[in-house]
Amino acid sequence: MSDLNPLLTLQAVRSRAHLVLDLAKQNALNHFDYHPERLDETVEYVIGIIQRDFGPDRYDTIPPHGRWQHFEVGSVPRIDKLLKQWGERGYDAKEKVRSLLDLFFVSVLLDAGAGDLWTFTEPGTGNVYNRSEGIAVASLYMFLGGEFAGEIGTDGDGRKDIVTGEGLKSFSVEALYRGFQINDETNPLVGAAARVEILQRLGASLLENKEIFGEAGRPGGLVDHLTRNGTDNLDYAELWSTLQTLLIPIWPSDRTKVAGKPIGDAWPLSALRKHESTANLDPATATIAPFHKLTQWLAYSLKVPFERLLGTAWTNAELGTGLPEYRNGGLFVDMGVLSLKPGALERGLRTSGGPLPCFGAGDDEIVEWRAMTVALLDVLHQRINESGRFGDVKLSLPQVLEAGSWKAGRETAAQKRPETRSSPILNSGDGTLF
């Protein structure tokens, strides 16, 4: 990770977020008020959800936050069925992991929020899914149908369930509309064209990194790269730096740049100018808050197949942070830990026309909210473990995200806004951020 620009590191995500929390404690934020007295109720609410779903003695079975679970929506073990089919084809454990990485790469990068209206009707069952689970199932059917394989993806054996660089480079908006059952009038998906561009750029980046992903530019080539010295212990920091090298070039070109180079999901934040620790730093980078949310979610998702199929243990996994997206962030707003200052609320309502405030995905209000979300998730994680409510089990942050904060954010949204179940603060993103 030492070769990365400091703003691309996981350490920077956490440290900058906690600078913002420092300012919040001083009532020095520009757009939000912080109400720490509301944390107790929030911690209890999240603990209650975890106890409801995993109590009294299954806390050690909580999966880490990641893509795998979304494929099981409707209590259908789709990934287990797929693994069985691959076993019947004679695939060994490593090839199964390669294949899951192929699927998870495209599925995660297609999923930066679906909007409140889009749904997917599963072929054969007629079951209807939306949001992240719907995108997971839709992407699985596209994967099985060879939509990401390209011409060489059949590998001589007629195999369709594979992802290649050329397959992604040639992926089209029409294919996404067809596979995701999108209709602009009756079943719209936010940012469909932008998502396709992300996959096309991913294809090009995979092919430009053949020393890692092979001649075909297969995402699953990451398995061989990371396990070149064995599978028992892998370094999460190496996974992270590899993903950043691959993914930084694929994000929209209008995002933040430093010295002319893009730095991905990282944004100027005016509040950071107030923190004493930034006074002597390079002004070009001192007031930037990095998040790298989609890359973090992808990293969390990719580590799971290694663990489950290869028995891998990861060092430095604790570097990963909470995810600054609208479910986690919405939890803290809905529970009253954060509230928009009157002027910010007025601006947001003026933009949206009501009843909920709306800002651009890179607006200062959203960046401040996301930074507070990252820091408050650390606070939530610590306080949950300090509670002693789960016996001897200490939950990892990804487990708290999965069984607690993300689920709690979704449930508070359903309680307070049952018609849309939307975030309490809207953003006008393009489907490539969060």
Please say whether the beta carbons of 64 and 304 come within 8 A. Answer: yes
User: pTM for this one?
Assistant: 0.94
Buried b or exposed e, range 173-182, using 16+ CB within 10 angstroms: eebbbebbbb
The model's pLDDT over 300-340, given as tens digits with 9 standing for 90+, comes to: 999 999 999 999 999 999 999 999 999 999 999 999 999 99
How big is the CA angle at 320 (ends 316 and 326), to the nearest 5 degrees? 170
The predicted structure's pLDDT at residue 434: 59
- Read off the pLDDT band of 152 (50, 70, 90): low
107 residue type, one letter? S
The model's pLDDT over 286-298, given as tens digits with 9 standing for 90+, comes to: 999 999 999 999 9
The predicted structure's pLDDT at residue 3: 65
**Tokens 């960046």 label which residue?**
367
Q: Is 341 exposed, middle or buried (0-12, 13-18, 19+ CB in 10 A)?
A: middle
**Tokens 């997917």 label which residue?**
120
Beta bridge partners of 315: 235
| DSSP state, residue 216 | T
pLDDT for 154 beyond 60: no
* C-alpha 108: how far from chain center: 7
Please say whether the beta carbons of 214 and 221 come within 8 A. Answer: yes
User: Which whole number is the average pLDDT over 169-178?
Assistant: 97
pLDDT for 383 beyond 80: yes
pLDDT for 155 beyond 60: no
pLDDT for 24 beyond 90: yes
The predicted structure's pLDDT at residue 253: 84
Least confident range of 80-94, 111-125, 184-198: 111-125
Two tokens, residue 68: 């795998």
- Compute the residue count for the chain: 434
Two tokens, residue 112: 């930066």
Percent of the chain whose pLDDT exceeds 70 = 96
Helix and strand numbers (H, E) in the chain are 17, 12
User: Which whole number is the average pLDDT over 69-74?
Assistant: 95
The predicted structure's pLDDT at residue 9: 97
Please say whether the beta carbons of 173 and 180 come within 8 A. Answer: no
